[in-house]
Structure 1
């Protein structure tokens, strides 16, 4: 069996790859593993379970709840809420397990199961591996230990979760949003109710699009992966900014008043300066990934802020932040983590904080985002090559060295093997887009020749 857990839970086509049986079995296995790990500490365990609006989430939620309750876990069902809401509620309610059913920005046929440990934190790799092992043992014939009678878990609808999460978002804002007009694209996803409510309670004038989920339309031509509708709506309504979420609202991208995109790097730059001004940017450091735009790094250097870069993936950003005590980190894709207020990327919180900065300064989002110049970035995927040799091939190394000399201090080269496919990703940044394209094409040819 290949590893079920990816970088963000177990994900696949619902009812094909991700079946009710798999969701139920993984939930029982998670309960057993976390009990063995001492997480329950002798008390009756509790789980918080939420989902995005996908139609498949209805039966998968039933399977997860059944699995947990059959393992003796009391379940609080919070219904359709964002991933960061489930993580937050897991923490503040003192629950032992959090479960979110979502495939994030993926198309509707997909779904996923994501587990959180006590405190609302993602599971460590070793716990995920153990859950897989225990699940596979049961699947091949080893029986579960099953409670009976009063030992089985009880299931409760926790309707207070919505208001409790929104109240948390409002409470951590540095200032109100009065006088700010914002368009919110909810991707017909998990934040369709939460985000407009939070922005309105904070004082913003709110226009919503993509906020009518029907179980089938999540991420369909809208949200953070399709900014066209948001761009047009911001200009049409004369808004100060637009905010776009993905299906589970753990990420946020923005557009300014002219409809121009403001990506995760630019959002991080704006928030880094705001937090430093407020004395909240610990050690004057922000965490990004190796894919962070060079313009972001140069801007942070100019502003006297250190950039720590990790491997691609918000879990690696979070690991670095927790290990070193940093307060702010994120990815170009819009996963932004403000660790004092969230244990994972929170798209609604990020959008609120961005709008709060606009309100507090009286400056436009375009002006605020102008702290960094986003250098042209070209990404070329080179398929059907031996990706394991990308960092050992002398021919590839020589080509990279030549490219770096050509680009100088205002350019950058990154070669990265895909984690899931037999391909190498070639990324080139340069001050000039044509130069970036030319260098990227030349390097892709070398990778294909040397590793093909």
Structure 2
């Protein structure tokens, strides 16, 4: 099969109003996905969204497309991506769609499609949808006969069901009473659910960025912009802060001193807790996971492997190894004992349980892992094949020289951008200055092209 044209590592995404984030495209995508699902005997698809104003337009277009293909539709309204995946399984839907551009600004949006098990579609399934999508774009979509058109219904208690599911991820013997938590909802899909979950489990909750207006999602808030959360944790004297992104599949935390605790550190805590509870497997990270994570896991006797960047690739390697834990520095955390996909609120339940059980602060809990200083430089390459540049003798030799210089206490990674003529140079070392100088040496070699 050909490479996917529209689906990226996390669905289809773009600026609203520009192809492919248009109503016409969404209608035809709904028809194409419905066509593929109906061939497999499917009858109903569940559709959720985040808080972007454009979600109304895309939701209506997708609904029309699925209906024209003969698929019934269940609408759940604003709900986190993992909540949509969970409800797809709970309601025994044959598939699900999430309308969200995750951590992107309001003017972007995206469409993610899940299978009946709540997991992301395989490359082959996405390619099959793209086959029918190309037909719809070039020839127009068809419509089933009137008596076979799909019907739509709205699920009124979707957020309540998902709230109870998240609460169940905290062991029954654990209470959050006595904890003061600041929750940054990113003005996104979890603006109601997240504060409710922590409050109902006993915590004192200060919710911030929980007033979405359709345009303020991820704006100077959430998992990609921690300044206001850090300040709020300190000013309120809170025990910790929890930052979600627009669709609540990313989790970043802040300790009581206002310091960030990123996805690598959180994954370490999850792995350590699981190890103490008898987990015998390993952990999957990505090419960008900090070397400090790998070394800290090795000290605990926990195997570690790296996948390509992207939570779908983390999940694929987890399936291959049979391991139950994985994640990314950005805060996508997967624990398959609790959820089939990355779920920020569910992951936070295990981390809070770890703190309560051990009777320690988040700051104290993460001390078993020491992050390596990391430098990242983007180098523009004009008029040359990125693959040929990466394979050139001078670049390969420069990397070997730096790796020899760093030894076991550092790491070099060169990655080509999938969307721009860039090569990303990442170096980790014991000292920040050492990492920066090493990255600059490699960048100079690349800049010669």
* Coarse TM-score class (shorter-chain normalised): over 0.9
Match of 2:26 among 23, 26, 34: 23
Instruction: Give the stretch that moved more between structures: 126-135 or 266-275.
Output: 126-135
Task: Tell me which residue corresponds to 2:223.
Answer: 224
- What root-mean-square deviation, in Å, do the aligned CA atoms of Structure 1 and Structure 2 show? 1.4
Task: Tell me which residue corresponds to 1:378.
Answer: 375
- The reply to whether residue 309 of structure 1 matches residue 306 of structure 2 is yes
Unaligned residue ranges in structure 2 (runs of 5+):
none
Unaligned residue ranges in structure 1 (runs of 5+):
none
2:57 alignment partner, SS class? helix
1:137 alignment partner, SS class? helix
Task: Tell me which residue corresponds to 1:3.
Answer: 5
1:114 alignment partner, SS class? strand
Aligned residue pairs, count: 442
Instruction: Give the stretch that moved more between structures: 355-364 or 20-29.
Output: 355-364
CA contact (8 A) 1:399 1:443 kept: yes
Q: CA deviation at 1:148?
A: 1.6
Match of 2:107 among 101, 109, 121: 109
Query: In structure 1, what is the Cα distance between the partners aligned to 2:247 and 2:95?
Result: 18
Query: In structure 2, what is the Cα distance between the partners aligned to 1:200 and 1:143?
Result: 47
Change in CA separation of 1:216 and 1:143 when aligned onto 2, cut-off 3 Å: closer
Change in CA separation of 1:340 and 1:147 when aligned onto 2, cut-off 3 Å: farther
Q: CA deviation at 1:143?
A: 4.8
- The reply to whether residue 49 of structure 1 matches residue 52 of structure 2 is no
Q: Deviations over 1:238-285 (max 9, x none)?
A: 111101011111100011000011000000001111112222x3x331
Task: Tell me which residue corresponds to 2:82.
Answer: 84
Task: Tell me which residue corresponds to 1:120.
Answer: 118
1:190 alignment partner, SS class? coil
- The reply to whether residue 336 of structure 1 matches residue 333 of structure 2 is yes
Q: Deviations over 1:107-157 (max 9, x none)?
A: 1100011100111110111111121121111221255251322x2111111
- The reply to whether residue 152 of structure 1 matches residue 149 of structure 2 is yes
Q: CA deviation at 1:351?
A: 2.0
Query: In structure 2, what is the Cα distance between the partners aligned to 1:93 and 1:220?
Result: 33
1:140 alignment partner, SS class? helix
2:368 alignment partner, SS class? coil
Task: Tell me which residue corresponds to 1:62.
Answer: 60
TM-score with structure 1 setting the length = 0.95
Q: Deviations over 1:80-109 (max 9, x none)?
A: 000000011111211111000000000110
CA contact (8 A) 2:4 2:126 kept: no
Match of 2:351 among 328, 334, 354: 354
CA contact (8 A) 2:186 2:244 kept: yes
Q: Deviations over 1:192-227 (max 9, x none)?
A: 001111111122111111111010100010001110
Task: Tell me which residue corresponds to 1:199.
Answer: 198
CA contact (8 A) 1:71 1:147 kept: no
Match of 2:139 among 133, 138, 141: 141
Q: Deviations over 1:281-322 (max 9, x none)?
A: 3x3311101111000011000111111111111000011112
1:121 alignment partner, SS class? coil
Query: In structure 1, what is the Cα distance between the partners aligned to 2:328 and 2:410?
Result: 19
CA contact (8 A) 2:264 2:328 kept: yes
Query: In structure 1, what is the Cα distance between the partners aligned to 2:263 and 2:210?
Result: 22
Matches within 5 A, 1:278-317: 278-279=277-278, 281=279, 283-317=280-314
Task: Tell me which residue corresponds to 2:15.
Answer: 13
- The reply to whether residue 251 of structure 1 matches residue 250 of structure 2 is yes
TM-score with structure 2 setting the length = 0.96
Q: CA deviation at 1:409?
A: 1.4
1:284 alignment partner, SS class? coil
Query: In structure 2, what is the Cα distance between the partners aligned to 1:47 and 1:159?
Result: 16
Query: In structure 2, what is the Cα distance between the partners aligned to 1:124 and 1:248?
Result: 21
Query: In structure 1, what is the Cα distance between the partners aligned to 2:332 and 2:92?
Result: 25
